[in-house]
Amino acid sequence: MNKEISAQDAAKLRKSDSTVSFLDVREDSELEICKIDGAIHIPMGEIPERAESLPKDKTIIVFCHHGMRSANVQQYLEAKGFENLINLAGGIHAWANSVDPEVPTY
């Protein structure tokens, strides 16, 4: 069962818990358009070989453009033993619309 969080709740969680990490699984070209400051960037296709670099003991909010790719990455990482994963519902698009209007949309 995939856990999801709204952009507003993710922003609140980030402010209240400094151990929360954000994982951006979008492509490099998408990162050039916009980003969430401080997020770890691993494109979806690189997750299998780079998953071990992620902290297993911390909450990770996974996001992409709209939330589909990040849901797939969440499922993959959970199968690899990660337990504290939350998908950002609506992705960076929702973040831009409801949390940070400075983030460009595409």
The active-site residue, picked from 64, 71, 92, 99, is 64
Residues 91, 70 contacting (CB under 8 angstroms) = yes
Tell me which H or E stretch contains 74. Answer: helix 68-79
34 is catalytic: no
Q: What SS3 state is found at 66?
A: coil
Classify the C-alpha dihedral 83-30-50-36 as positive or negative. negative
CA angle 22, 26, 32 (to 5 degrees): 100
Q: Which residues are catalytic?
A: 64
